[in-house]
Amino acid sequence: MTANSFQLLVSDDWRDYELLDSGDMRKLERFGNVRVNRPDPQALWKPKAPVANWKADATFASKDDEDDRGAWSFPGKEPPDEWPISWDALKLNARLAAFRHMGVFPEHSVHWRWAANQVKAAMRPVKALNLFGYTGMMSLALAQAGAEVVHLDASPKSIAQGRQNAAMSGLDGAPIRWICDDAMKFVEREMRRGSQYEAIVLDPPKFGRGPKNEVWRFETDFPKLLEHVRALMSERPLFVIATVYAVRLSYAAVGQSLAGAMGYGKVQCGEMAIREAAGRDLVLPTGLFARWTPS
């Protein structure tokens, strides 16, 4: 079984986020009222305005633009530690986090909306598992659409931020279980318990460690995890979404891995991107994705 042809999913449905300019391996973004200048190795073209002329409230610098390690600097008054932004009816706190992160990946909004629509259209109970769930926007979108959600991440800080985002969005009473655990260990326990899900989302890193120093390596663990995902799907499944960053793979490799693990159904795969707001017909690629549906 093979995956379908390439698709480019472009995130352009934000009010509180914009990609203002990009190029020379940098990107200028707006999160709410705060402008940030961050490295991006995919922005190989020339920016609309020279990077030296960009006006940012915070700039992240690292020794190597492909290295996440570095530090934030501020030309003027330092922005707050965190500040609220919104996507649709959901709210979250943006923050100048370590390793150039901002507490959210804006390009994932294409999956939040699609997944929520799938849950609403099902018109039946849906149990969803969100692995490597970070600060919880997918979990909130699923819960708001009516799903019962298990949100898992190895970082206690990300779990705490997810709970905070849920409270800000009026979903602190929603059916979301917030679990800090190693993804592989949790999934294997769920298999032994006979747990099943109608929807599973996974956003694994290239390399990571669980709360008890468990090691995750994408090349060896991703295929195994996909096999486990297949075992956890219910008899009436809705979808699986996988997103992948910072690995030397083609979208076809990700899509065909998911298709092979599931063994039936339909897989769409391609790249995620963000549309630039600088008046050019330009998108910034961000990562790979694959979506499986049963038909």
The per-residue pLDDT for 102 is 96
- pTM, whole model, 2 decimals? 0.94
pLDDT in tens, 89-118: 999 999 998 888 999 999 999 999 999 999
> Could you tell me if 118 and 239 are in contact, meaning their C-beta atoms sit under 8 angstroms apart?
yes
- Of the pLDDT bands very low, low, confident and very high (cuts 50, 70, 90), residue 4 is low
pLDDT in tens, 26-57: 999 999 999 999 999 999 999 999 999 999 99
Structure tokens, 48: 């609309």
CA distances from 221 to 14, 196, 208, 216, 227 (A): 34, 21, 11, 7, 10
Closest by Cα among 277, 273, 285 to 20: 277
Question: What structural domains and CATH numbers belong to the chain?
Answer: 103-293 (3.40.50.150)
For residue 35, the cross-strand partners are 30
Can you give the C-alpha Rg of the chain in angstroms? Answer: 19
> Could you count the other beta carbons within 10 Å of the beta carbon of residue 177?
11
User: Could you give the dihedral angle defined by the CA atoms of residues 226, 195, 215 and 208, in that order, rounded to the nearest 10 degrees?
Assistant: 70
> Could you tell me if 172 and 136 are in contact, meaning their C-beta atoms sit under 8 angstroms apart?
no
Percent of the chain with pLDDT over 70: 97
CA distances from 219 to 1, 206, 207, 267 (A): 21, 8, 9, 20
Rounded distance between C-alpha atoms, residue 45 and residue 48, angstroms: 9
- pLDDT surpasses 90 at 209: no
The per-residue pLDDT for 64 is 62
> Could you count the other beta carbons within 10 Å of the beta carbon of residue 182?
19
pLDDT in tens, 148-207: 999 999 999 999 999 999 999 999 999 999 999 999 999 999 999 999 999 999 999 888
